[in-house]
Structure 1
Amino acid sequence: MKIAYFDCFSGISGDMLIGALIDLGLDIDYLKKELGKLSLKDYRIEAKKIVKNGITSTKFNVIE
């Protein structure tokens, strides 16, 4: 089991957290499968690589 510790003294942005977890190796198909267990309707998720100010990251969106 791997453990990640987040020191969120000022809060944390959910989309940025999920994007960072995807960059660390979270499988997007696994995430979709687990979200499917919640019985939510009319949404889709999207993750794409972006470069901003020379820094590469994953932009994560939940689209209704």
Structure 2
Amino acid sequence: LGAVGIVELKNQVNMEQVQQKFVRLGVWVRPFRNLVYIMPPYIITPAELTKVTDSIIEVVTTSC
């Protein structure tokens, strides 16, 4: 069990490019069409959640 977070973008993302950027940052995120999904577990630490959200901000602002 865990939470679900979704970032909706105005346009579709290049899924291959975006996924590669997330993997390089060490974060597993599911891009799909114009959405970026995260499904963090309830036991995620504040530091881990910060890494995930900071990575989403970085990739979305530089790629989309």
Q: TM-score range by the shorter chain?
A: 0.3 to 0.5
Q: Is the strand fraction higher in 1 or 2?
A: 1
TM-score by length of 1: 0.37
TM-score by length of 2: 0.37
- Higher RCO (Cα < 8 Å, 6 or more apart): 2
